[in-house]
């Protein structure tokens, strides 16, 4: 019973860390464009990420819970121990990145943590699934950057052709709110699995219960700590004009939505950063804060290994103490 309570606590902990780090993926660019306040962005993200988690979150939850290490086929005690340590390792790394204002991948973090904990106890790791996920990780920022880069000029041309100048500003604001709503929904659908996938894998909750539980934890993270990474996405990579923000969010939302439908846990951080860079490149490479981009990319590459090492060492320590 104590182990169940601790595992749920760690599930809530990583959900809180995810909300703190990833809220920026949905509204950071909007706030940076000057058309949305931080308070409005947080309200939109809380509401629609929760709806995405509940209505579309079950697909990726199954992948995290059973597709990397088959937790449902392990001894229940061992499966719960892996889940506990994976949530701790992933949540702690995401929290460290959040304190530095870096948008890291919570998907990378939980996948690395589950694999690390599984390796520590000799559990079977499904390497083919890990390879598939890794390939998608690489393609995610490239795909959203390409979509945003290709889409921006024709979108801008059509927009000013169809929308009279006197109505341009209110229409832009409307689109900004619509696209951020869509992005928040897709983020909740994909990333809730990072908080609760392992909980369903060990059978404590079903997919719907886990989605609701993870959604609530994410909301708390958004409300208490979400502003730090919002500053990075909105202001530190490149300065975004409102139409650039809309295109970046359309590109990122489409990207994440497609992966979610296939049950693949990808990074909304990678997706939105790639899209922001993509629209920024339309204005030229000089518009991009290359130092910040490289710092973000370095933290991305470090994420699965850092969280994996944390969960690996923790589970080794626990087993040593228990023995």
User: What region, left, alpha or beta, does residue 77 occupy, with left being phi > 0 and alpha being psi -120 to 50 degrees?
Assistant: alpha
Percent composition of the chain: helix, strand, coil (DSSP 3-state, to 5): 85, 0, 15
Q: What is the C-alpha to C-alpha distance for residues 323 and 317, in angstroms, rounded to an integer?
A: 10
State residue 147's pLDDT score. Answer: 92
State residue 303's pLDDT score. Answer: 86
Q: Is 321 a member of any domain?
A: no
Per-residue pLDDT at 178 exceeds 80? yes
Per-residue pLDDT at 202 exceeds 60? yes
State residue 135's pLDDT score. Answer: 83
Q: What is the C-alpha to C-alpha distance for residues 31 and 72, in angstroms, rounded to an integer?
A: 42
> How many separate domains does the chain show?
1
| H or E element, residue 269 | helix 268-282
Cβ(98)–Cβ(21) below 8 Å: yes
User: What region, left, alpha or beta, does residue 195 occupy, with left being phi > 0 and alpha being psi -120 to 50 degrees?
Assistant: alpha
Spatial neighbors of 39 by CB under 8 A, at least 6 apart, are: none
Q: What is the C-alpha to C-alpha distance for residues 134 and 138, in angstroms, rounded to an integer?
A: 7
The token pair that represents 281 in the structure block: 């490149």
32-38: average pLDDT: 77
At 309, the pLDDT band (50, 70, 90 cuts) reads: very high
Q: Is 4 a member of any domain?
A: no
Q: Mind giving me the DSSP string for 225-267?
A: HTHHHHHIIIIIS-PPPHHHHHHHHHHHHHHHHHHHHTT----
State residue 158's pLDDT score. Answer: 92
- Considering 19-28, 60-69, 129-138, 290-299, the range whose residues carry the highest mean pLDDT is 129-138
Nearest Cα residue to 37 out of 253, 234, 289: 234
Identify the domain containing residue 113 by its residue range.
14-308
116-138: average pLDDT: 82
Per-residue pLDDT at 272 exceeds 60? yes
State residue 313's pLDDT score. Answer: 93
Q: Which residue has the higher pLDDT, 41 or 233?
A: 41
Cβ(24)–Cβ(229) below 8 Å: yes
- Indicate the SS3 state at residue 205: coil
277-299: average pLDDT: 72
The token pair that represents 183 in the structure block: 């992005």
State residue 286's pLDDT score. Answer: 60
Q: Write out pLDDT tens, residues 39-91.
A: 888 888 888 888 888 787 776 766 665 667 777 777 888 888 888 888 899 88
Per-residue pLDDT at 284 exceeds 70? no
Using a pLDDT cut of 70, give the percent of the chain over it: 87
The token pair that represents 271 in the structure block: 């997706």
Per-residue pLDDT at 154 exceeds 90? yes
Q: What is the C-alpha to C-alpha distance for residues 198 and 70, in angstroms, rounded to an integer?
A: 10
State residue 67's pLDDT score. Answer: 62
- Indicate the SS3 state at residue 137: helix
Q: What is the C-alpha to C-alpha distance for residues 131 and 31, in angstroms, rounded to an integer?
A: 36
Q: What average pLDDT does the structure give for the chain?
A: 80
Q: Is 317 a member of any domain?
A: no
Residue whose tokens read 């995401």: 94
| Backbone phi, psi, residue 102, to 5° | -100, 130
Q: Is 8 a member of any domain?
A: no
State residue 231's pLDDT score. Answer: 60
Q: What is the C-alpha to C-alpha distance for residues 29 and 276, in angstroms, rounded to an integer?
A: 8
Say what the pTM is: 0.76
Q: What is the C-alpha to C-alpha distance for residues 85 and 7, in angstroms, rounded to an integer?
A: 8
Using the CB atoms, write b or e for 261-285: b if 16+ within 10 Å: eebbbbbbbbbbbbbbbbbbbbeee
Q: Is 223 a member of any domain?
A: yes
Q: Which residue has the higher pLDDT, 238 or 139?
A: 139
């Amino acid at each position: 019973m104590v182990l169940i309570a601790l595992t749920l606590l760690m599930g809530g902990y990583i959900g809180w860390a995810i909300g703190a780090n990833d809220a920026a993926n949905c509204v950071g660019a909007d706030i940076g464009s000057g058309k949305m306040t931080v308070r409005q962005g947080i309200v939109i993200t809380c509401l629609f990420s929760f709806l995405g988690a509940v209505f579309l979150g079950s697909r990726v939850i199954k992948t995290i819970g059973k597709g990397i290490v088959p937790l449902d086929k392990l001894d229940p005690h061992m499966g719960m121990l892996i889940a506990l340590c994976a949530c701790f390792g992933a949540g702690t790394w995401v929290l460290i990145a959040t304190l530095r204002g870096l948008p890291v991948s919570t998907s990378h973090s939980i996948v690395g943590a589950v694999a690390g904990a599984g390796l520590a106890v000799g559990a079977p790791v499904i390497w083919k699934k890990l390879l598939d996920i890794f390939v998608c990780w690489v393609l995610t920022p490239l795909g959203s950057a390409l979509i945003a880069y290709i889409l921006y000029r024709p979108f801008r041309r059509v927009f000013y052709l169809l929308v009279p100048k006197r109505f341009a500003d209110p229409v832009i604001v409307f689109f900004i709110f619509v696209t951020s709503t869509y992005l928040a929904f897709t983020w909740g659908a994909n990333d809730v699995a990072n908080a609760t996938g392992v909980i369903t894998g060990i059978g404590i909750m079903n997919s719907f219960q886990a989605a609701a539980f993870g959604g609530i934890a994410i909301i708390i993270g958004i409300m208490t700590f979400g502003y730090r990474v919002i500053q990075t996405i909105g202001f530190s990579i490149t300065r975004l004009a409102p139409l650039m923000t809309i295109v970046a969010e359309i590109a990122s939302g489409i990207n994440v939505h497609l992966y979610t439908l296939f049950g693949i846990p990808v990074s909304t951080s990678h997706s939105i950063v790639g899209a922001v860079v993509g629209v920024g490149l339309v204005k030229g490479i000089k518009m991009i804060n290359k130092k910040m981009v490289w710092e973000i990319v370095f933290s991305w590459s470090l994420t699965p290994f850092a969280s994996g090492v944390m969960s690996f060492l923790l589970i080794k320590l626990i087993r040593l103490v228990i023995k």
